[in-house]
Amino acid sequence: MEDYNKILESLSIKFTSLRNVKVLQPHKVFNFYDFENTLILVHNGEISTENGQVTAGQGDLMFIPAGKTITISFGKGNFTELQQEKYLVEKNKYVSYTKERVPALNPEGSYSVLSFEAKIFDSVNFYSSLDIPPFLIKERPAIVNLILDTIKEEFTEMPGKERIKKCNTEKIVLDIFRYILDNKIFIEKLATNLNYFKDPRLIDIFNFIKTNLGGDLSNRVLANVANVSEDYVGQYFKSMTGINPQDYIEYQRMEKSVGLLRTTKKSIREIGIEVGYKDTAYFCRRFKMMFGISAGKMRKRESLVRA
């Protein structure tokens, strides 16, 4: 338990967005993916993953860890099947976003979506690092009430709203972890995947990558950071995390590029350079390969969602 406390104390937690959504027509999305953790509270209707393997009904919560690629269905009945790229471009045909302090029920389905970051040492996505699949949270009124309270704060202009949203999100993140422990799910994965955060060399690599995304992050450089040989650093990193360092670096670069698309007016070329891609065309190819959508369309999609 002491190890868990150390990890949880190291978490950097950030509220990103909270949206009330109405389903306009039932749909299934293949290759659904986001860099942020997604927690969905179902007010009415159903949400299912992987052909019904996990189904959330009224009052249930579905948690999708950051970076997980899944198939997800919204609503009941005859689904329109969509690849993620088409869904992102045509999303307003299938869902609408509302600004209601009390989410309305909708026959086709209605739900609230909380997006947040939870990073260990402000570097590594916590729930992604546990390598757990999306899962259902049932009969957890504490989390439901926190989301409902956060909805009220999101759509008010009272002072202190940002602080309350942040505090509520921190409580939600910790209670999701407690839910895992209380229900004894993913316990072996938890024990195994939290172990690597005990190695200070790995933490040094994580921190160096985070602060030098636009620079040289070759294995030679990482080996110097960890004080190991260049031949060994790739093997060491993969043995601890399950992925090779260059794949992890690209993930971090793409994550930051999405953040810059969402929060700045920088050109796609400027963003590519900032995250370590001098060749804009190559950056755009890698971006579309990862997300199934171009950087330009991603920016347009985000501006519509957050308007």
User: Does residue 24 have a pLDDT over 90?
Assistant: yes
Residue 302 confidence (pLDDT): 62
Segment 247-261 mean pLDDT: 90
Q: How would DSSP label each residue in 186-197?
A: SHHHHHHHHGGG
Residue 220 confidence (pLDDT): 95
- Of the candidates 245, 129, 240, the residue with the CA atom closest to the CA atom of residue 189: 129
As beta bridge partners, residue 119 has 12, 125
Residue 307 confidence (pLDDT): 47
- Of the candidates 144, 151, 140, the residue with the CA atom closest to the CA atom of residue 41: 144
Q: Answer yes or no: are the C-beta atoms of 26 and 77 closer than 8 Å.
A: yes
Segment 63-85 mean pLDDT: 88
Residue 199, H or E segment: none
Residues 4, 202, 211, 253, Cα dihedral to 10°: -90
| % of the chain residues with pLDDT over 70 | 96
**φ, ψ (nearest 5 deg) of residue 53:** -60, -35
Which residue's entry shows tokens 């860890």? 65
* Straight-line distance from the first to the last Cα atom of the chain, in angstroms, rounded to the nearest whole number: 43
| 94 three-state secondary structure | coil
User: Does residue 305 have a pLDDT over 70?
Assistant: no
Residue 183 confidence (pLDDT): 93
User: Does residue 169 have a pLDDT over 90?
Assistant: yes
Residue 257 confidence (pLDDT): 93
Render pLDDT for 86-133 as a digit per residue (tens, 0 to 9).
Answer: 887 788 899 998 887 777 777 788 999 999 999 887 777 888 878 888
Q: What is the mean pLDDT of the chain?
A: 88
